[in-house]
Amino acid sequence: MRVLHIAYQQLRRYGQTRVSWAQKLTNGLIKNDHYVSVFSDRDVAAFEAPLGIRDLGRNKANRRLLETVEAVEPDLVIAGHCDIISNETLMEIRNRHPAVTIAHCNNDPLFVPDNVERIKHRASVVDAIFVSTGRRELNIFEGLGTRVYHMPNPVDPAIECMNNAERTDLDIDLLFCSNSTNFTKRLELVKWLRDELGDELNFKTFGSFGDPPVWGRDYDRALARTRMGLNLNRQEGHYWYSSARMAQLAGNGILQFTHSGPRFDELLPPESIVYFNDRDDLLARIREFHHDDTKRRLWASRARAFFHAEINSRLYAQYIVEASLMQPFSHDYVWARDINLDGSLQ
């Protein structure tokens, strides 16, 4: 199948990139033997704009996308986070190629009001939308004329290639990386933990409290030194919603602590992720696993094995293709057991 994937490719970061779910989707599509052409809307807009001012290149980027469609002749267009591309351009793609299927993938949380409106906006012109919050909370997008699906954050063996569950020589006991402060009070919890833990363990908080953030290989190196990590969302409680941090930690064999609110215990195997209810519970669990490294390694290895077997980029891409085209599911996708092929809840 011929797939055109519209997503930010981070070309102008020149290697200092964030781990990208969009890159994992491209990887999975290629590993599944699809022909994939990528179109990076933000980069094209900047490259085509006068003086490299991205907003001045919006119209040109949309024209370049139409040129790309004519050259590629895709069977499936996957539009990720590509706000530079207008709905009018997506409709023009359909006008020129009536047989094409167009899907939208959105990996941002629903507690950001603008994101809900962006999804609704895209839903008016696409065949299917995929959202990283659990399906039971996606009823707000029903009745918009498109099919609605949940999608997870996958691991990719080329990216999450470490296995810290096998190691005992790790000098970072606890890790939290973030530089986002919008719609969140999680740094209050992190600061409280730092104060309570003191010198009990080596707790790194890159991107917060004056510590510079880490990207690219520096992020890889930080993960490579880490036993345990905090998977703290900007807001907690949305069903099966987590940032991509969950897959990054689990996929590298790093034990993670996750709030119980999103109910990942209904998706993931027992004794793989450490759930907590409040800050005192979290503090006690951190201390418990810090002093029991055998238990830390066992739980982390179970999470890593599950993610690599059942929530990997190949299955992720295969699911998005099959759901978009309404092809019967070829795998028992663990994250889609509560939905029908058309995206409706069972």
Tens-digit pLDDT profile for residues 260-319: 999 999 999 999 999 999 999 999 999 999 999 999 999 999 999 999 999 999 999 999
Looking at the fold, whether 17 and 140 belong to one and the same domain comes out as: yes
Specify if 104 maps to a domain.
Answer: yes
Quick one: pLDDT at residue 234?
A: 83
Q: Give every strand in the sheet of 274-276, ordered side by side.
A: 203-204, 172-175, 226-231, 255-259, 274-276
Average pLDDT over residues 201-228: 93
Are 87 and 125 spatial neighbours (Cβ–Cβ below 8 Å)? yes
Helix runs in the chain, H state only: 21-31, 41-48, 58-72, 87-96, 113-123, 186-197, 216-224, 245-251, 279-290, 293-310, 313-325
Quick one: pLDDT at residue 265?
A: 97
Average pLDDT over residues 65-88: 97
Looking at the fold, whether 323 and 274 belong to one and the same domain comes out as: no
13-60 pLDDT, tens digit per residue, is 887 777 899 999 999 999 999 999 999 999 999 999 998 899 899 999
Specify if 345 maps to a domain.
Answer: no
Quick one: pLDDT at residue 294?
A: 98
Phi, psi of 2 (to 5 degrees): -100, 120
Specify if 234 maps to a domain.
Answer: yes
Looking at the fold, whether 26 and 145 belong to one and the same domain comes out as: yes
Quick one: pLDDT at residue 180?
A: 64
Looking at the fold, whether 24 and 104 belong to one and the same domain comes out as: yes
Looking at the fold, whether 297 and 205 belong to one and the same domain comes out as: yes
Specify if 344 maps to a domain.
Answer: no
91-118 pLDDT, tens digit per residue, is 999 999 999 999 999 999 998 889 999 9
* pLDDT surpassing 60 at residue 77: yes
CATH of the domain at 257: 3.40.50.2000
Domain count, the chain: 2
Candidates 161, 133, 121; CA nearest to 27 is 161
Quick one: pLDDT at residue 210?
A: 83
Quick one: pLDDT at residue 208?
A: 87
